[in-house]
Structure 1
Amino acid sequence: MIEVVIRQAASLLLRYPGPGWAETLRLVRDTAGGLPDGRCASLLRFCSDVAAVPPLELEARYVTTFDRSPRRTLHMTYYTDGDTRRRGASMAGLKGEYRRRGWRPPDDQLPDFLPVMLEFAARCPEAGERLLAGHRPGLELLRLALRDHRSPYERVMEAVCGTLPGPSVRDRRAALELARTGPPAEAVGLEGYGAHARPVPLGGRP
């Protein structure tokens, strides 16, 4: 199922480009390049765009892209809950969903980190698609924000959004409202979320 391949590849490409990045690009190119239709074209273009970028420069770009603006965060509950008490409950719900499906995400990442959600969607396609579809406005807003930032990561988000059914009128309205007003604001951090209640960089690296 091509959606599984795209979501797993996107999960790898949206992580911090540290050691092993060249191998990640090779793996994605080899896998996506062998698929019969053009739905992986955006992923392959991203790989081509960043292949020649020096590692330290790409790492700096990643931080600038995802850590410096809440409108480009990879933590999806921020789009729905912002810095409110609801966010802790939403992340607890995500952990519960992963647990019910017999999957345990990495301990060093929050459960709403998009690469984690994408890996879950690759491992549990039906439940994962429902989860991603529930965050469609945030995914679309992230894609548009990356486009405005002129980031090659927009191509990865284009591929991710392309695995979901077309956005409904409600999704479009929600994305536009998020773009206009931003997420809810209530400066309480992540109270009630246990060990993860400390601030973390928005790019997903504790």
Structure 2
Amino acid sequence: MSPRVPTLAYSEDTLTQAWQSASILLEYPDQQLLARMDLLTKVADSLPVKLGAGLRATIDHLLRQPLQVSEQDYVDTFDNRRRGCLFLTYFSNGETRKRGLALLRIKQEYTRAGLVLTEDQLPDHLCVVLEFAATTDQRAGLKMLLDNRAGLEMLRLHLTDIASPWSGALEAVCATLPPLKGKDREAVQRLIDEGPAQEQVGLTPYGTPELAPTSGGV
């Protein structure tokens, strides 16, 4: 049964282009990324302004500075800050056992779609989710984004606050989703006030048998 998700304001092709572009731009910067900048620029310029402007801002920023500066900025932004985490279930579950189950459920969605991750990839990394949504199963990928909406918005606000080169890419991703309201707004504010949850006892790896599959599993 397909996930129940809202109808979005953009076409499937537009979402595919926006999400795949954001996925590429949010990866660790390297020479391969620089080689794709012309194509990414053309895609960004072809998208609705609300989406393309954010992508173009990230592209332009990365093109203006040396690659070594971008590499260090990336590490400082996403590896050394709790609020800059690119792993979506961390925001909603923190370092608790619940995160293991959330990771397993996402991995099961990939398995059902025939996608196999490499050993060094966690299924909730934003770039992996965006690539999955863009190229494999748009509705399932969209549901993952919506299930982790509060974390996405917290990351967007954080990147904006620190004037990060990657804030535009997050703006574009969030702009593809429905406006925040009600419980989503409350969840974002709670994350800002309290941060992700912590648990004193050891965590169970997400792939172990203790985490039973959801109904209708692989």
Superposition TM-score, scaled by structure 1 size: 0.88
Per the alignment, residue 73 of structure 1 pairs with 85
Counterpart residue type for residue 61 of structure 1? D
Counterpart pick for 1:47 among 59, 77, 84: 59
Per the alignment, residue 121 of structure 1 pairs with 133
Counterpart pick for 2:106 among 79, 94, 101: 94
Task: Work out the CA distance in 2 between the residues paired with 1:187 and 1:30.
Answer: 48
- Kept in 1, the 8 Å contact 2:104–2:207? The answer is no
Q: State the Cα distance separating 1:190 from its structure 2 match.
A: 4.3
Change (3 A) 1:27 1:112: same
CA RMSD for the aligned pairs?
Answer: 1.6
Counterpart pick for 1:64 among 76, 82, 107: 76
Per the alignment, residue 204 of structure 1 pairs with none
1:1-206 correspondence to structure 2 within 5 Å: 1-35=13-47, 37-38=48-49, 39-123=51-135, 124-188=137-201, 190-194=203-207
Counterpart residue type for residue 177 of structure 1? R
C-alpha distance after superposition, 1:178-202 (max 9, x if no partner): 000011101456423359xxxxxxx
- Kept in 2, the 8 Å contact 1:140–1:175? The answer is yes
Q: State the Cα distance separating 1:167 from its structure 2 match.
A: 1.2
Change (3 A) 1:26 1:187: farther
Q: State the Cα distance separating 1:96 from its structure 2 match.
A: 0.3
Per the alignment, residue 201 of structure 1 pairs with none
Unaligned residue ranges in structure 2 (runs of 5+) = 1-12, 209-218
Q: Among the aligned pairs, what percent are the same residue?
A: 40
Counterpart residue type for residue 137 of structure 1? A
Counterpart residue type for residue 60 of structure 2? S
Q: State the Cα distance separating 1:103 from its structure 2 match.
A: 2.0
Q: State the Cα distance separating 1:85 from its structure 2 match.
A: 1.1
Q: Select the structure of larger CA radius of gyration.
A: 2
Task: Work out the CA distance in 1 between the residues paired with 2:34 and 2:102.
Answer: 34
Superposition TM-score, scaled by structure 2 size: 0.84
C-alpha distance after superposition, 1:45-70 (max 9, x if no partner): 21111202111111000000001111
Q: State the Cα distance separating 1:169 from its structure 2 match.
A: 1.5
Number of residue pairs matched by the alignment: 194
Q: State the Cα distance separating 1:3 from its structure 2 match.
A: 1.1
C-alpha distance after superposition, 1:96-150 (max 9, x if no partner): 0111122223432111110001011112111111111111110000000111111
Counterpart residue type for residue 155 of structure 1? G
Counterpart residue type for residue 24 of structure 2? L
Task: Work out the CA distance in 2 between the residues paired with 1:120 and 1:24.
Answer: 19
Unaligned residue ranges in structure 1 (runs of 5+) = 196-206
- SS for the counterpart of 2:46 is coil
